[in-house]
Structure 1
Amino acid sequence: MKKLRVVFILLSLLITVTFISGWAAATPHTSLKSAVAAAKEHNLPILIKLGTKWCKECKEFEEAVVNVPEIGQAVNDNVVLCILDAEEGPGAKVAKHFTTRNYPSFILINSDQEAIARWIGFGCQDCFVKELISALDDPITITERVKRFQNNPTEDDAGRLGRFRHNEGMFAEAVAYYRRAQEINPASDTHYEMNIFGAMSYGNYFQIFSVDQLIVQADIILNAPWRGDKELLKVAFSMFKAAKRAKDMTLVLPYLKVAVEETAKSPDDGVLNKRAKLMPEYTLYISKDIKQALAFKKENQPQGWLEDANQLNNFAWWCFENEINLQEAEKLARKAITLAKPGREKGNILDTLAEIRYALGDASDAYKYVQMALSEDPDHEYFQKQLIRFKEITSAR
């Protein structure tokens, strides 16, 4: 039965657009309760999509389900779709239950609400379809898979359990499963070293893995015979984030240099686009050309960014973090405040302005703007900590 189901899924995805031009998308459920009822009625699993109003990929997925027949049919023929807001209403409880941190998060469950599989992101439509097909290929619960693995360890189960724990935020457990998969099949086509590095990168953010551990894993990838342009860029981006957290940008320099210089002649437009996003940092930290770094940063900004509150804020924060161009950063942050929606969005920009004013030597101004940020979002713990921080600074002067 399992093989017949997989064949059916693959055939449904290969139907031509002409043949399915009359296909209409089913209305997704916005309540887990109604989704469970529908799943029991039709004997189908449930695909929960947890997202937010500000998540770009979340919107892209919802549009694709309606407008891209291959995506819509893959979903509607095989699962009951339930779309929930992870930050508001009942969806927030579901997100907490499944320890969801990144959006969109896709969680496949059965009608008893037991997890089967989960993955993150919708940056690649083909990747989404592959994830869905893979999950439906062997749709047992995670509890059942763990028991099966304990009795009969296989590379496939180890890899699936690693991915699930990875996306669940259980990074140490994910690394252990990835290493086990690697041990079971050292000749596997899956480069588990990349999976391990990805889990360790996220784990570093939560202080589960140290920077030193991450460096060891990054060096393994750089010296691997199979690593290519995409792997180099992934390592560079991840090490850049780790270096920022460690407040030691020298940590990223070897990876940044190799990634930018070795991908310069790539024939892959996707690789070149990602490389372009590293050029501001490469120019700033390797070439040490502030003017050119700013030029690259502005070139990489999305169209219309000068009228977008969040994009203006992102640019201003980048300037603050790198301690450059602070006067223009202040000007753009002030403009962003006038464009921002009341609440957390405006509060975040006010916090950026506070940091810039402090960097420019005005702690009292910084304190004032953090007060304003907290008034926009009184329950925001970070703003509360910022208020205490700047109050102590101003009181000491």
Structure 2
Amino acid sequence: MRRCLHQALPVGFKRPAGLALPPSVARGRVQARPSSRILSRSVRAGPASPIHIPQVCLTTCPIQKGSNMTRSIRAALTCALILLVAAPAFAGEHGLSYADALKQAKERDAVVVIDFFADWCGPCKAFDRDLADTQSGIRDALDAVVFISIDAEKGEGIELAQKYGVTGFPTYSMMNPDGEPIENWVGYGGPDHFRESLETALADPVTFEEKVARYTAEPTAERAKNLGRIASASGKPADAMVYLAKAEELDPELDVTSEMLDAAFGRARKDPEYSMADYVELAQQRVLEGNADAETTLMTTYYVSSATASEEDHATLKPFLVLSREAVSSTDEELSQGLVDAVEMMAIMYVDEDMDAAVKMKRSTMPEGWMEDPGQLNNFAWWCFENDVNLEEAQQLALKGVELADPGESRAQILDTAAELCNALGNCDEAIEMIRLAIEQSPDSEYYGEQLARFEAIQEESSE
């Protein structure tokens, strides 16, 4: 077998981690606020600023590589069409379209809520399970609306997801019977978070344009903040930052730090005029030099780790990690354990410089039964690859995940992880073999073709 020179992922390359991952998005609290963030949604990296967002927990999934939609980040999905009609219908109902939903909404004088998902997304699957559970209260909460679930990567879902500014999964979009957008919220943080977000949207079910007109006629800080939140969740981060800045101007005591940093990170991913360096500078001002709460400090640290992933010495990230540790130890806030663990593992690696301890902690945070779960095997293997640790075991676990995974995109995802690990270990031929198998599993994916071309270029370079 020809050995190839190890070549890491290109600077700024983004590839979402496996079947489930962790940006406005659910923040991963047990009872998250509507403005909550990354831990309950998935996101995608796009051509303007491809970037890696590390995996945190199963309440979040990035919009995956190989998606049919135009990619938008690595901040950001699993049943067929589901419709809630006058007599509520949930999982198991098929064939009702977006047009059918609008028609029924007119008949019922109700709004439509679309659950945009993709079939590889863990948080979306968690939502499906809770939707089917009569004790969760989600069905009752949805009685007042026409509800459908649409795969955002297939059929009419592709165009609809673009129309409603979907940048992560799951995204819940509310609209009137004419299809005019009212509200977006991103991520699934559990039944309480979903019901709270739905209630917030239903409390003011006028279109976004009507909200803008109301704010224009009578500007208030709360209206500006609300518009900023909605704009951020609808794929308009630059507009969100303008509204949030206005909210601060109207009421200097109003705290919009977390919302502003969310919007800024989203903007840095897609706006060529606003870089990741701009985002990091804002984060330093708002968090390191400011007085952010513990949750915002942790989330910002998480984002900064993505924005500065190409730094070998992690000098920019380290002050955030140190501050995060201090924030966790001194707060009474209810925080996402998945987020706390993810940041602590980074602190162990980059502040303590103890990679073995980080691997041990990562293993301890894996859920029960993970060694027989292909998605979790992929999670662990990709984490090892991202951090350049424990690569040989990670490769074996990825191969086990391939054997256990269902055919199709799920298996292709893990084959891609295995390919990256083969390349990292210097096995260029095996990397090419794995990615060709991924293409067989997901032949319509442009991403895997790009990966094949990349590995072949590495092989050619190493043979010269």
TM-score under structure 1 length normalisation: 0.85
Q: 1:95 to 1:325 in 2, by over 3 A?
A: same
- C-alpha RMSD of matched pairs (Å): 2.4
Q: Which moved more, 1:244-253 or 1:332-341?
A: 244-253
Residue 427 of structure 2, aligned match among 352, 359, 362: 362
Partner Cα separation in structure 2 for residue 269 and residue 117 of structure 1 = 27
Residue 300 of structure 2, aligned match among 235, 239, 247: 235
CA shift for structure 1 position 288:
0.8
Q: Which amino acid counterpart does residue 195 of structure 1 have in structure 2?
A: E
Correspondence for 2:215: 149
Tell me, what secondary structure is at the counterpart of 1:117? strand
Q: Find the structure with the greater CA-based Rg.
A: 1
Give the % identical residues: 31
Correspondence for 1:89: 155
Partner Cα separation in structure 2 for residue 94 and residue 150 of structure 1 = 28
Q: Which amino acid counterpart does residue 164 of structure 1 have in structure 2?
A: I
TM-score under structure 2 length normalisation: 0.74
Q: 1:79 to 1:327 in 2, by over 3 A?
A: same
CA shift for structure 1 position 81:
1.6
Q: 1:73 to 1:272 in 2, by over 3 A?
A: closer
Higher relative contact order (CA 8 A, sep 6+): 2
Preserved CA contact (<8 Å) 2:288 2:320:
no
The answer to which structure has the higher helix fraction is 1
Preserved CA contact (<8 Å) 2:117 2:150:
yes
Is residue 95 of structure 2 the alignment partner of residue 33 of structure 1?
A: no
Partner Cα separation in structure 2 for residue 185 and residue 265 of structure 1 = 28
CA shift for structure 1 position 293:
0.8
Tell me, what secondary structure is at the counterpart of 1:250? coil
Residue 166 of structure 1, aligned match among 232, 237, 241: 232
Is residue 383 of structure 2 the alignment partner of residue 321 of structure 1?
A: no
Matches within 5 A, 1:69-84: 70-76=137-143, 78-84=144-150
Partner Cα separation in structure 2 for residue 234 and residue 176 of structure 1 = 21
Correspondence for 2:58: none
Matches within 5 A, 1:1-397: 26-28=88-90, 30-65=96-131, 66-68=133-135, 70-76=137-143, 78-188=144-254, 191-208=255-272, 209-223=274-288, 227-244=292-309, 249-264=314-329, 266-267=331-332, 270-396=335-461, 397=463
Partner Cα separation in structure 1 for residue 403 and residue 128 of structure 2 = 30
CA shift for structure 1 position 268:
5.1
Preserved CA contact (<8 Å) 1:205 1:242:
no
Q: 1:25 to 1:260 in 2, by over 3 A?
A: farther
Q: 1:74 to 1:371 in 2, by over 3 A?
A: closer
Deviation string, structure 1 residues 224-244 (Cα, Å, up to 9, x no partner): 765222122111111112122
Q: Which amino acid counterpart does residue 199 of structure 1 have in structure 2?
A: A
Q: Which moved more, 1:201-210 or 1:174-183?
A: 201-210
Preserved CA contact (<8 Å) 2:118 2:153:
yes
Q: 1:124 to 1:219 in 2, by over 3 A?
A: farther
Preserved CA contact (<8 Å) 1:266 1:272:
no
Partner Cα separation in structure 2 for residue 130 and residue 220 of structure 1 = 31
Tell me, what secondary structure is at the counterpart of 1:249? coil
CA shift for structure 1 position 354:
1.8
Q: Which moved more, 1:83-92 or 1:166-175?
A: 83-92
Q: How many residues align?
A: 371
Preserved CA contact (<8 Å) 2:116 2:170:
yes
CA shift for structure 1 position 109:
0.7
Partner Cα separation in structure 2 for residue 336 and residue 231 of structure 1 = 34
Q: Which amino acid counterpart does residue 134 of structure 2 have in structure 1?
A: N
The gaps in structure 1 that reach 5 residues or longer are: 1-23
Correspondence for 1:3: none
Partner Cα separation in structure 2 for residue 330 and residue 345 of structure 1 = 17
